[in-house]
């Protein structure tokens, strides 16, 4: 069962790697779909917790993938999921980085850049929506989500402070 | 690659170390620290080169910061440099996050810890919503182009379409629209 699971992780995350337009966070909905809905490896709430854990740790956002792999199949799961998520896109970047500079100022290059922006925005908002539904089980939780979004948008306070405050509100038993 | 660049090309071990440093200083987003290290401190890239490399890393699939490390590493030492920068970025955070995961499995069932995490998870969700809105605002997403964002949101969040299906349907149209508008 374990090897099968690892193969499944490798397959799912290599596909995610190649469709992660605009970065790791944009594939959250798809990751959620695969991990929670298709394979039933964990509940939506557990997925949201792993995401929060990865956000609270230093390093690239993509580490949520390591945690998901670890949760599903231990250390080897973490390694396989991380390698699968980074491998294909890294190879592609390596290959394309050599020619990209040559097309500076090309019309198609800026069209590709501008055209992907709305897709990325839609994916980020969809990810935010789905994670919110998974994470928030009370009115106070929804209020924390809304307040965090508003504060991040309007001030330059470091998100880690907001995590700390939200954690304290949780600890007080209000969420 | 110009002579001047080759002259001050960092060794793979330095790429590894600097990217480790960048990774460990960034909570919830590493890119600003990467920019500071690459452009201001080490001067491995000019501000213009950084913007250029970043635009590539945003267009290509995969985590932007990981792509950036690969770009910078590859520029100096090909595959070896890319691997060194990538390993620097990922290794330490990987073990830290797994340690946190292990601690969480150990103590997550305690009522206090799970209560704390209900709060933190709610805030983390808000962070993503803000990322989306911030990008929409900073790139002045209006009119026809905003429609593609709405369609993407609707397809993924509400209809729960697979991402591949949606990308093949929406991304080409969106790029074509951007091309048409730029002409």
Whether B115 maps to a domain, the answer reads: no
Note down the domain range covering B152: 140-183
Determine the pLDDT at residue A1: 53
> Which of B24, B31, B123 is the mutation pick for testing A, counting most A CBs within 10 A?
B123
Instruction: Answer whether A42 touches B (CB < 8 Å).
Output: no
Residue by residue, pLDDT tens for chain B (183 residues) are 443 444 468 999 999 999 999 999 876 668 878 888 998 889 998 888 888 888 888 888 988 899 999 999 998 899 999 999 999 999 999 999 999 999 988 998 899 988 998 999 999 899 889 988 988 887 767 677 899 999 999 999 999 888 888 888 999 999 999 889 887
The CA distance from A129 to A135, in Å, is: 10
Cβ pair A166:B120 closer than 8 A: yes
Residue A58, beta-bridge partner list: B27
Helix (H, G, I), strand (E, B) or coil at A21: strand
The CA distance from B96 to B20, in Å, is: 12
Residues B90 and B15 in one domain: yes
**pTM of the full structure:** 0.84
Whether B44 maps to a domain, the answer reads: yes
Instruction: Answer whether A159 touches B (CB < 8 Å).
Output: yes
The CA distance from A11 to B163, in Å, is: 15
Residues B29 and B90 in one domain: yes
Residues B64 and B153 in one domain: no
The CA distance from B110 to B88, in Å, is: 35
Domain count, chain B: 2
Whether B121 maps to a domain, the answer reads: no
The per-residue pLDDT of chain A, averaged, comes to 90
Note down the domain range covering A94: 2-104
Domain count, chain A: 1
Give me the interface pTM, i.e. the ipTM: 0.84
Among B48, B82, B107, the domain boundary falls at B107
H or E, element range at A4: helix A2-19
pLDDT-based confidence at residue A111 (cuts at 50, 70, 90) = confident
- Report percent pLDDT > 90 for chain A: 57
Residues B91 and B172 in one domain: no
Q: Does A106 score more than 90 pLDDT?
A: no
Whether A56 maps to a domain, the answer reads: yes
Whether A11 maps to a domain, the answer reads: yes
* CB–CB contacts below 8 A, A to B: 376
H or E, element range at A120: helix A107-135
């Amino acid at each position: 069962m374990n090897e099968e699971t690892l193969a499944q992780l490798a397959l799912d995350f290599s596909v995610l790697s190649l469709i992660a337009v605009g970065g790791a966070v944009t594939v959250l909905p798809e990751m959620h779909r695969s991990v929670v809905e298709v394979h039933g490896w964990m509940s939506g709430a557990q997925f949201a917790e792993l995401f929060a854990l990865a956000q609270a740790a230093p390093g690239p956002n993509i580490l949520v993938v390591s945690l998901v792999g670890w949760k599903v199949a231990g250390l080897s799961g973490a390694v396989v999921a991380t390698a699968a998520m980074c491998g294909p896109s890294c190879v592609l970047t390596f290959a394309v980085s050599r020619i990209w500079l040559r097309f500076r100022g090309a019309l198609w290059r800026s069209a590709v850049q501008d055209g992907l922006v709305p897709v990325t925005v839609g994916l980020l908002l969809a990810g935010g929506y789905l994670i919110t539904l998974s994470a928030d089980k009370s009115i106070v939780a929804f209020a924390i989500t809304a307040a965090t979004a508003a504060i991040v948008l309007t001030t330059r306070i470091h998100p880690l402070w907001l995590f700390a405050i939200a954690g304290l509100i949780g600890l007080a038993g209000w969420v | 690659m110009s002579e001047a660049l080759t002259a001050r090309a960092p060794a793979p071990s330095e790429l590894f170390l600097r990217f480790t440093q960048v990774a460990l200083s960034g909570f919830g987003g590493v890119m600003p620290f990467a920019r500071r290290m690459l452009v201001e401190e080490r001067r491995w890239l000019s501000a213009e080169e950084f913007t250029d490399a970043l635009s590539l890393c945003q267009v290509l699939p995969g985590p932007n910061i990981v792509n950036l490390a690969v770009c910078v590493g590859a520029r100096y030492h090909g595959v070896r440099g890319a691997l060194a920068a990538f390993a620097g970025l990922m290794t330490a955070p990987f073990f830290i996050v797994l340690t946190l995961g292990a601690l969480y499995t150990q103590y997550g069932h305690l009522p206090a810890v799970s209560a704390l995490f209900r709060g933190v998870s709610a805030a983390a969700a808000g962070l993503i919503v803000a990322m989306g809105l911030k990008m929409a605002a900073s790139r002045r997403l209006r009119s026809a182009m905003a429609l593609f964002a709405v369609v993407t949101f609707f397809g993924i969040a509400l209809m729960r379409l697979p991402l591949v299906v949606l990308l093949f349907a929406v991304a080409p149209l969106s790029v074509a629209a951007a091309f048409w508008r730029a002409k």
